[in-house]
Structures are given as structure tokens and as C-alpha cells.
């Protein structure tokens, strides 16, 4: 096995799926930039004008923009196999993952949710909708959940949760900042724990 194959074999290939700004995507790229163990090799987005695709171009990482019909027919499985993807990291990806992917990447797709699942989860509960619901409900705490993806929205086995206080003075905006800080602090570390050499 030549050096190149050895490198390919050793390095754990990660694909990030995202639809929005991409602060988590940038944070994960930064974390693994010089990692000998893992490499972000592909960025997938359903939104051609997303910030996350700008990040892919800036970081010179391969990317693909999903087309709904194909995504729900074949899940871009051939493309993911071509990149030898070992782990799919969802970082604000708004489309439900099709069963062709949950079956072929069982326990290899993870997601981060800006609340303490099962609270404030399910279809339509993403981004600011979650923060608004937490504030409206006058919750005194919230947090983040990192979990495996299965066939049901925000339902897979929980890997990690951490809480933060919600103050009376908090708004959806200030809460969002607290949540993003927790996400940036913990998501890369949890991904590290899932890397199998
Ligand atoms: C994060 O808040 C995450 O909890 C949710 O989508 C958001 C993505 O934010 N799943 P960003 O695009 O990474 O800034």
C-alpha cells in the first residue's frame, strides 16, 4: 500500500451538510484544519446562495448543491461513496434525510439541535423558531443536543447535551448567541470522539 493509499485509508473523511450561514461549518473546518486523523472532504447544501457554499469555495473544499428530486431518489449515495465519507455532520441542514442515507449511513449521520431534545424538536423547529419558542415558553434553561439521525425528525439516539441558563432579559437573539457559543465549543469535540481510526 503506497503512502497515498495509507494516508487515504487512515484519514477519516467527513462531509458537512448545511443550508445556512455556516458558522458551525467554519468552526468545524478550523478545528480539523491540521488534524492527522480527520478531514472535511465535502460540503453539501440545498441552498445555492448559502453562506456555507461561500465557505466551501474559500476553503477550497469540494461541494455539491442538492436537487430535491435526486436527493430523495438516491441520496447522492454514489457521490458520498466516491468521497469515501465515513461521517455525515449536519450543521443546520433543512431537508429531512432520506431513508436511503439513514440506512446506508446508520449511526454515521449526526445533527446538532439548538434545544434540549425532545423539547422544542420536530418538523419546523429550527433556527430562530426554536429560540422564539423557548422565550415564549418562559423557559429558565435551554441548551444544545447532538444526536444520531434516524428516519424521524430530531429523534435519533442522543450523544451529548449541555444546558445554559435562560434569563428573563433574554431575547431570541441573545439566546441564539448563547446557543451558538455552546455549539462552537462542543460540536468539534464530540465529532472527535466519533472518529474511528
Ligand atoms: C445551528 O444553530 C444549529 O443548532 C442548527 O442550525 C444552526 C446552524 O447555524 N441545526 P450556522 O449556520 O452553523 O451558523
CA distances 124 to 5, 17, 96, 133, Å, are: 43, 18, 11, 11
Measured in Å, residue 59 CA sits from the centre of ligand 1 at 19
113 given a catalytic annotation: yes
Q: According to the model, what pLDDT value does residue 20 have?
A: 96
Tell me if the pTM is above 0.85. yes
Atom of ligand 1 nearest to the CA of 18: 12
With a 6 Å cutoff on the Cβ, whether 143 touches ligand 1 is no
Question: What are the pLDDT digits (tens) for 7-32?
Answer: 455 699 999 999 999 999 999 999 99
Assign 1 a pLDDT band (cuts: 50, 70, 90): very low
Measured in Å, residue 22 CA sits from the centre of ligand 1 at 7
Q: According to the model, what pLDDT value does residue 196 have?
A: 75
Question: What are the pLDDT digits (tens) for 176-192?
Answer: 999 999 999 999 999 99
Question: What are the pLDDT digits (tens) for 115-159?
Answer: 999 999 998 999 999 999 999 999 999 999 999 999 888 889 999
Question: What are the pLDDT digits (tens) for 68-101?
Answer: 999 999 999 999 999 999 999 999 999 999 999 9
* H-type alpha helices, 39-139: 51-58, 68-74, 77-82, 99-104, 128-136
With a 6 Å cutoff on the Cβ, whether 149 touches ligand 1 is no
Atom of ligand 1 nearest to the CA of 113: 4
Q: According to the model, what pLDDT value does residue 9 have?
A: 56
Question: What are the pLDDT digits (tens) for 32-42?
Answer: 999 999 999 99
User: Which residue minimizes the CA distance to atom 5 of ligand 1?
Assistant: 92
114, 121, 159: which to mutate for ligand 1, most atoms within 8 A of CB? Answer: 114
Question: Of 80, 110, 71, nearest to 193 (Cα)?
Answer: 110
Amino acid at each position: 500500500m503506497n503512502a497515498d493509499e495509507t494516508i487515504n485509508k487512515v484519514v477519516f473523511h467527513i462531509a458537512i451538510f448545511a443550508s445556512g450561514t455556516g458558522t458551525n461549518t467554519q468552526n468545524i473546518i478550523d478545528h480539523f484544519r491540521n488534524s492527522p486523523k480527520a478531514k472535511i472532504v465535502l460540503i453539501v447544501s440545498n441552498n445555492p446562495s448559502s453562506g456555507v457554499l461561500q465557505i466551501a469555495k474559500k476553503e477550497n473544499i469540494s461541494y455539491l448543491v442538492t436537487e430535491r428530486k435526486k436527493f430523495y431518489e438516491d441520496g447522492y449515495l454514489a457521490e458520498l461513496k466516491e468521497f469515501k465519507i465515513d461521517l455525515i455532520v449536519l450543521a443546520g441542514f433543512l431537508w429531512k434525510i432520506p431513508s436511503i442515507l439513514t440506512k446506508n449511513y446508520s449511526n454515521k449521520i449526526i445533527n446538532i439541535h439548538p434545544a434540549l431534545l425532545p423539547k422544542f424538536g420536530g418538523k419546523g423547529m429550527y433556527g430562530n423558531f426554536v429560540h422564539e419558542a423557548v422565550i415564549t415558553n418562559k423557559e429558565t434553561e435551554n441548551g444544545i443536543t447532538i444526536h444520531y439521525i434516524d428516519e424521524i425528525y430530531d429523534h435519533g439516539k442522543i450523544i451529548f447535551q449541555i444546558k445554559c441558563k435562560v434569563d428573563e432579559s433574554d431575547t431570541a437573539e441573545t439566546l441564539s448567541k448563547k446557543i451558538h457559543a455552546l455549539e462552537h465549543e462542543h460540536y468539534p469535540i464530540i465529532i472527535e470522539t466519533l472518529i474511528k481510526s
